[in-house]
Amino acid sequence: MALAGTYELVKSEGVDEFYKALTNKTPEKKVQQSKKLEIAINGDQVTLDCGAAKTKATYTLGNNAEGCGSGSAKNAIAKLSGNVLIVLDKNEHGLIQRSYKLSGSELTVTLTSSKKGVPTAQIVYIKVK
C-alpha cells in the first residue's frame, strides 16, 4: 500500500495554536513535532509510530480502540480509503480528526477539532522509504 512507509518532517503550521485552543492552556514550551513518522499497514491493522513509546498506536480499521497514541484518547477509530487515513479520537477535549493524505511523496496530516474556536493545523512530511 502506497501510504505505508517512513516519512521525515518538512514543516508544520498552526500546531501550537491548535493545542492551545483545544486545551485552553498556553503550552509551556513549543509543541515538538516528531521528525520521523512510520506508517505500517498489515491487513486491517494500521500502526503509526513517531519513534517514542507514547506516540506509537495500532488501530484495527473500523473498530474502536481504547487509549491510543499519547494516551489521551478515550475512544479512537481509524478508516482507510486509498491514500487517505482518517483517525477520529474522542477524548475530554471533544472529537479530534487526524487526516493523513498522501499526494506523490508528500504526506499532509491535517488536525481538526469539533470544539468551537479551534483552528486547523497541518503537518507536512516527505516519504523517504
Count up the domains in the chain and report the number: 1
Q: What is the pTM of this model?
A: 0.86
Grid coordinates given for 15: 500546531
* CB neighbour burial string for 43-80, b if at least 16 within 10 angstroms, e if fewer: eeebebbbeeeeeebebeeeeebeebbeeebeebbbeb
Grid coordinates given for 91: 477524548
Condensed to tens digits (0 to 9), the pLDDT of residues 5-61 reads: 999 999 999 988 998 898 887 665 555 667 899 999 999 999 999 876 567 888 999
**Run of H or E including 67:** none
CATH number where 102 lies: 2.40.128.20
Whole-number pLDDT of residue 25: 75
What residues make up the domain containing 49?
A: 5-127
% of the chain at pLDDT higher than 70: 84
